[in-house]
Structure 1
């Protein structure tokens, strides 16, 4: 967090000066009270009382203005740092590869972005101001007391070692409990996110009570940890309050004896009591803020363990942009395995000329989807290389490679916004006319025009307001608008009714023109126009039959390809 504050150091320094001056004025009050008791009241001059009281009032008007400005600036800097942290964390989420996201719960990631960063915001923006104020209050009052009467000063400071020991004992407990609280809150958020995302299946199986029970149990576990933390925090604060009160009583006792013996003036004793309150409040405040900072350490760990996670797929230092125009692709002995050691692809080698269509055939789990994800560098091969127009794919900048790929998949994802915005996601600078042209080419314009709000119709989360065929055509329009030289069709027409399939297939045929296309399909009809068919089984290419051989029309034994796959 300190490294993120480095650009704001001049502003932080100004804030510290303002708060320091304000606290210096605050510390002048006991001296003014001492003067009233020892000199003004003894002289009986009411005019001097008015002058001293008016001077103190003016001082505190200035102190309030300085304190306001210093605290406001410091809180603004703290909020800016936390916003920067939130943006950095969100960007890092998107930089991390699919391998990372496949192992994470969305609810947990949202919890770190939300409640964990909010806890840091409180620590940076609120606690820091209070901590600095209490620190300056403690330091200034201690120096003045020691100059006035070192014996009484030591009596006030005698509680400091006890407070320090108590704080050091309790701080690790606060950190552990805070981490547990944040983890359990994240678990509850995950359950809520999954349950609401799958509300249809929940209702279909009548599991409303079950899901409510799951969430209730998770919140009960969260409450148990929170109550334990509050109990320890309350005991800690009560002990600190007792220790600081004890020191104040000791000063009153010893100082009262000194005043009675004539060794100390009444004004000095009153000033000392006021300074002792500054010291004890400072000690108590710092101890309380230390416990709060320790509690925020749990949230800090959860946030920064994400930021410390290395990005697996990244640009090379000398990466160049891919500019096309065509896209010839070559796989050279490509293999891929997850970090767990599970091998998904091995010994994959083939060529695809620019503008050609390759169909990938094989049973579920054969490696087809993983293979096409390597093309857009969602993963990088662990063996071999993929060459795009003669250069290793990793030589190109990541953004330019992904700009060169358009994907239409079976599981269409639409954002919960308008149809216009979902299509424009393919190319953010596209005009309304270009969006409409893409929709017409995807055979989507007619049904869009029949909707109540046309292109501005809100589709709902994941497009639930639309049918499967409608969502698929919007996905095709999005890919058409992208106008990328590489097209990936991952089961784009499966689970679609006959009429929708005809419209979608017509749009796909139009889209494939002049593009290098990778097509994953099980239906024979969609394979008919492929320039090449690759059959995958167990992560390997086991054959490359033509269409007639694949369906067994020419030799009566061609179906062995599908059987082996």
Structure 2
């Protein structure tokens, strides 16, 4: 219903406008009116257009809506543009000394009416899509500088920072380099303008049979400017790519650190494969697009500006005709870029799922093979890849459609330019050389605009794909702020007081109103059935999670009051599911404690009853443990993990069923050394949590 009403209003508006123009044309051409009210053509033009504007304005209350392309709030501005653009243009041309008498007498023709609506449509596109957003952005910037208050409605909305602005934030430390690069782009683009300019001079020389010196001078200038432009472009490309490589490393490092700082619950709910995909694949895709595509986009933007300036110098009218065709050409890439941005997010999500399947399969390859489920995992991965393929087909369809539309619009613009240029040459308004120069500029202009339309969606795609990266960068860890306590001496008195805790998976309380006490210098055993909350107590003690109720005290102070790094130093945990890194045994034992000496490492290994086993390995302590410790036995992994905990000389040692994979002999030796350490070194208090099967 609204579309029908808008269409009827548009027809009514155009019909009334046509009637007004017909009436004004009859009055102007009437000999009686002309003899009674003689007036200069420019004054008659202004008078007629003002009358036209007044009548169309009086028509507004009778319209349910304006022309179909214009919002109701902008109808009056649209009428002003429709009726006054020609008087303003001809007045400016007249002031500049141009001949406008012929055009002023034909202002009320049907051709001018159609041209007026076309100019109004183009003007509205320019205003709504480009000028108005820039003005609003400038107004916000000035408002923030001068401290102007926004409306209450605007204050309630949290400002969202676009991904592109965030990317520019990473470039800000290198603003000096980018200023030099921009200068080189300007100089190089200016040098490239010499070829069409002097080609036009050569054309005039051939037509008029000028002096040979003019021809030689033109060829020399073309050669010098071409070489200079190539050298400047090489330097700018080199500086830009080096700078963007540095930015890629910085972004990837920041994303990795931001993810690493998240709480444990975040890793519980987010698959590891997806995290790896975001840190590597997404950042690589974004950096490659910005390194190559944004570079080209910057070059072509510089060229298109210079090309249009030189086109204005050759012919104002042909330049305005070209300018009128730009919004139609620009609308196509803007629409496809938005589609690209939406598709890119879906593609990257699909790739992340596929990476998760592959990562999970390879990390559990022994389980996969033991159950002979290679075909099942292959089918899972194939389904994920097929989803990605479906999205890629949609992306390819959008690319093919935009390319065809771009080619058709640029070709149409070339045809109009050639036709109109021939008319101007016929009327003697420009020379043949100027037409040749303009056509060469316009051909480059069309190629540059086509390149901008090609690379702009790619940059938009990279920006859209970076959204998830900035989500990780902006995400605040859901943990309490770090405490301030870091006493030199910690006794290790732990108390749980009425602690209630539940995981975020909604499976109910794991701990409910639990109270217990672990005294310093004592070995405390927490025994219970599976899923009774023993490991949850360990995770709460490590501050991996926060209890919903109750408090955990350490030496009489809430555990949240201590510095997080201090707690990690004073509390060491060895769990049943030992995690070793794909590094040497030496690096695994000294993990997080690289300043420890080799003697400290040997002592910790002896206490964990693993020193002899390590020395019998092929490379001793330099032996590679393999992925997740897969190159060594389960018992050796547990003892290496115990040595890794002991080398830190913790005040509180937590063993969460840490000897489950040891035989009775090695388990006895580990317990013997631990008990000996507790008794022999009173300054070190140990707490050991063990679980019963």
TM over 0.5: yes
Higher relative contact order (CA 8 A, sep 6+): 1
Aligned counterparts of 2:673 and 2:410: Cα–Cα separation in 1? 78
CA offset digits 1:514-564 (Å, max 9, x no partner): 3230413216xxxxxxxxxxxxxxxxxxxxxxxxxxxxxxxxxxxxxxxxx
1:321 counterpart (465, 473, 486): 486
2:460 counterpart (267, 289, 294): 294
Q: In the superposition, relative to structure 1, how do residues 511 and 117 fare at CA in structure 2: closer, same or farther (>3 Å)? A: farther
1:252 aligns with 2:422: no
Could you tell me how far 1:107 is from its partner in structure 2? 0.6
Aligned counterparts of 1:510 and 1:238: Cα–Cα separation in 2? 81
Q: Which runs of 5+ in 1 are unaligned?
A: 524-565
1:162 aligns with 2:328: yes
Contact 1:353/1:516, CA 8 A, preserved across alignment = no
1:65 aligns with 2:231: yes
Counting only pairs closer than 5 Å after superposition, residues 331-410 of structure 1 correspond to structure 2 as: 331-339=496-504, 342-410=508-576
Counting only pairs closer than 5 Å after superposition, residues 241-280 of structure 1 correspond to structure 2 as: 241-259=407-425, 262-280=428-446
Which residue is equivalent to 1:504? 670
Aligned counterparts of 1:94 and 1:56: Cα–Cα separation in 2? 56
Structure 1 or 2, whichever has the larger Rg, is 2
Aligned counterparts of 1:460 and 1:511: Cα–Cα separation in 2? 31
CA offset digits 1:110-147 (Å, max 9, x no partner): 11111111121123222221112111211221122123
Q: Give the TM-score, by structure 1 length.
A: 0.87
1:471 aligns with 2:633: no
1:191 aligns with 2:357: yes
Could you tell me how far 1:512 is from its partner in structure 2? 4.7
1:445 aligns with 2:611: yes
Partner SS, residue 158 of structure 1: helix
Which residue is equivalent to 1:521? 691
Aligned counterparts of 1:41 and 1:53: Cα–Cα separation in 2? 17
Aligned counterparts of 2:485 and 2:443: Cα–Cα separation in 1? 66
Between the two proteins, the alignment pairs up a number of residues equal to 522
1:226 aligns with 2:396: no
1:98 counterpart (239, 243, 264): 264
> What is the RMSD computed on CA atoms of the aligned residues?
2.2
Which residue is equivalent to 1:433? 599
Could you tell me how far 1:166 is from its partner in structure 2? 1.9
Aligned counterparts of 2:668 and 2:207: Cα–Cα separation in 1? 101
Aligned counterparts of 1:81 and 1:314: Cα–Cα separation in 2? 32
Aligned counterparts of 2:677 and 2:277: Cα–Cα separation in 1? 40
Could you tell me how far 1:430 is from its partner in structure 2? 1.8
1:2 aligns with 2:168: yes
Partner SS, residue 594 of structure 2: coil
Partner SS, residue 647 of structure 2: helix
CA offset digits 1:159-216 (Å, max 9, x no partner): 3121232233323321221111111111110000011011101111111122112212
**Range that drifts further, 398-407 or 124-133:** 124-133
Contact 2:608/2:640, CA 8 A, preserved across alignment = yes
Partner SS, residue 73 of structure 1: helix
Higher strand share: 1
Aligned counterparts of 2:229 and 2:568: Cα–Cα separation in 1? 57
1:175 counterpart (325, 333, 341): 341
Could you tell me how far 1:260 is from its partner in structure 2? 5.2
Contact 2:205/2:214, CA 8 A, preserved across alignment = no
Contact 2:490/2:555, CA 8 A, preserved across alignment = no
CA offset digits 1:339-389 (Å, max 9, x no partner): 455322232333333222221111111111111111121112232322222
Q: In the superposition, relative to structure 1, how do residues 94 and 155 fare at CA in structure 2: closer, same or farther (>3 Å)? A: same
Could you tell me how far 1:426 is from its partner in structure 2? 4.7
Q: Give the TM-score, by structure 2 length.
A: 0.72
Partner SS, residue 399 of structure 1: helix
1:153 counterpart (291, 308, 319): 319
